[in-house]
């Protein structure tokens, strides 16, 4: 009999209570909701979020916007002032450069004049008596008329006057041939083949010559002869382009 009971197993009698199982499910659901709410609140706190109600008013940004607009206007005015100042500086710099250029030209001219008078009053040993100092030419673009200025000096003993004649010839090419034309044939200011001079220190010979059409000047030949007690001769040839003022 005992063996038969073991084979058949034992039975436990439990008291049946209606609704007990539903209460356990309800308790489990409530606990789950509580844990879920706690976890959600903890996550919101870590993320830096905060709850606000729809009725809560937002921050007033009108003052900040007005300040930013005022700052923008000030910055735009500063940019306008800087641009105006830059243009004024550029204009002043251009005027300063122009003034410096004129002063440099003037200084160069003064130095040339100083050297000119120094050579007359205190010449070197190689310079003495009648001297063809320089020739200057000035021509406008597209114009056949040329202004000329020839300077003669007396170097060394200039206690008395020196007198004589100077001949000027323009050497060039026309129609592929070499031509030598006297200054008298090119200028209405010169009447004689030899131009008279008489001076103590220096003398300028100036005028305007007109080049013939098709004539290409290359050189200017100057021959000066002094007469009397200071009789002497001086010759000098100038390249046309080298004495043409730029």
DSSP of 207-235, one letter per residue? Answer: EEEEPPTTEEEEEEEEEEEE-GGG-EEEE
Q: Is 195 found in the same domain as 155?
A: yes
What domain count does the chain have? 2
> What is the band of 1 on the pLDDT scale with cuts at 50, 70, 90?
very low
Residue 52 belongs to a domain: no
Residue 58's pLDDT is: 57
Q: Is 110 found in the same domain as 192?
A: no
> What is the band of 216 on the pLDDT scale with cuts at 50, 70, 90?
very high
Q: Which domain holds residue 104?
A: 83-122
Section 2-26 average pLDDT:
56
CA dihedral 15, 18, 19, 22 (to 10 degrees): 70
Residue 91 belongs to a domain: yes
53 by DSSP, 3-state: which? Answer: coil
Two structure tokens written together for 103: 């002063």
Q: Is 116 found in the same domain as 201?
A: no
Q: Is 102 found in the same domain as 133?
A: no
Q: What are phi and psi of 181, to 5 degrees?
A: -115, 130
Residue 166's pLDDT is: 96
Q: Which of 122, 151, 169 is the endpoint of a domain? A: 122
Between 225 and 103, the more confident residue is: 225
Between 220 and 101, the more confident residue is: 220
Residue 64 belongs to a domain: no
Section 53-62 average pLDDT:
60
Q: Supply the mean pLDDT for the chain.
A: 80
**Letter string b/e over residues 133-154, b meaning 16 or more CB atoms within 10 A of that residue's CB:** bebebebeeeeeebebebbbbb
Comparing 20-24, 85-89, 160-164, the range with the smallest average pLDDT is: 20-24
Q: Is 151 found in the same domain as 224?
A: yes
Residue 66 belongs to a domain: no
Out of 55-64, 108-117, 159-168, the most confident range is: 159-168
pTM higher than 0.75 for the full model? no
Model confidence at 22: pLDDT above 50 = yes
> What is the band of 151 on the pLDDT scale with cuts at 50, 70, 90?
very high
Two structure tokens written together for 34: 């509580």
Residue 196 belongs to a domain: yes
- What distance in Å separates the CA atoms of residue 188 and residue 168, rounded to the nearest whole number? 14
Model confidence at 47: pLDDT above 70 = no
- What distance in Å separates the CA atoms of residue 65 and residue 184, rounded to the nearest whole number? 87
- What distance in Å separates the CA atoms of residue 141 and residue 132, rounded to the nearest whole number? 28
Between 139 and 11, the more confident residue is: 139
Between 207 and 230, the more confident residue is: 207
Q: Which of 102, 122, 142 is the endpoint of a domain? A: 122
Residue 4 belongs to a domain: no
- What distance in Å separates the CA atoms of residue 73 and residue 245, rounded to the nearest whole number? 56
Q: Is 133 found in the same domain as 238?
A: yes
Which residues, 6 or more positions from 187, have their beta carbon under 8 angstroms from its beta carbon? 148, 207, 208, 209, 210
Q: Which of 122, 151, 183 is the endpoint of a domain? A: 122
Q: Is 149 found in the same domain as 234?
A: yes
Residue 51's pLDDT is: 47
Q: Is 140 found in the same domain as 98?
A: no
Residue 58 belongs to a domain: no
Model confidence at 152: pLDDT above 80 = yes
Residue 21's pLDDT is: 61
Q: Is 104 found in the same domain as 185?
A: no
- What distance in Å separates the CA atoms of residue 155 and residue 234, rounded to the nearest whole number? 12
Q: Which long-range contacts does 122-126 make (Cβ < 8 Å, 24+ apart)?
A: 123/155, 123/156
Which residues, 6 or more positions from 149, have their beta carbon under 8 angstroms from its beta carbon? 135, 136, 204, 205, 206
Check: CB of residue 222 under 8 Å from CB of residue 167: yes
Residue 221 belongs to a domain: yes
65 by DSSP, 3-state: which? Answer: helix
């Amino acid at each position: 009999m005992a063996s038969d009971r073991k084979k058949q197993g034992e039975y436990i009698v439990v008291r049946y209570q209606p609704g007990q199982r539903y209460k356990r499910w309800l308790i489990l659901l409530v606990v789950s909701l509580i844990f879920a709410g706690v976890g959600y609140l903890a996550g919101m706190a870590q993320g830096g979020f905060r709850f606000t109600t729809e009725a809560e008013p937002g921050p007033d940004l009108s003052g900040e916007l007005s300040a930013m607009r005022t700052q923008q206007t000030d910055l735009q005015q500063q940019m306008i002032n800087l641009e105006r100042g830059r243009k004024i500086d550029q204009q002043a710099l251009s005027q300063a450069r122009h003034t410096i250029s004129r002063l440099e030209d003037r200084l160069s001219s003064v130095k040339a004049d100083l050297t000119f008078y120094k050579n007359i009053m205190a010449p070197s040993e190689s310079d003495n008596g009648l001297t063809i100092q320089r020739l200057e030419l000035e021509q406008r673009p597209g114009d056949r008329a040329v202004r000329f200025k020839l300077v003669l000096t007396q170097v060394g003993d200039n206690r008395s006057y020196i007198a004589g004649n100077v001949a000027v010839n323009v050497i060039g090419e026309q129609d592929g041939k070499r031509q030598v034309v006297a200054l008298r044939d090119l200028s209405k200011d010169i009447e004689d083949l030899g131009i008279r001079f008489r001076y103590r220190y220096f003398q300028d010979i100036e005028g305007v010559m007109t080049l013939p059409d098709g004539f290409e000047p290359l050189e200017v030949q100057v021959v000066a002869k002094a007469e009397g007690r200071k009789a002497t001769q001086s010759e000098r040839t100038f390249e046309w382009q080298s004495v043409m003022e730029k």
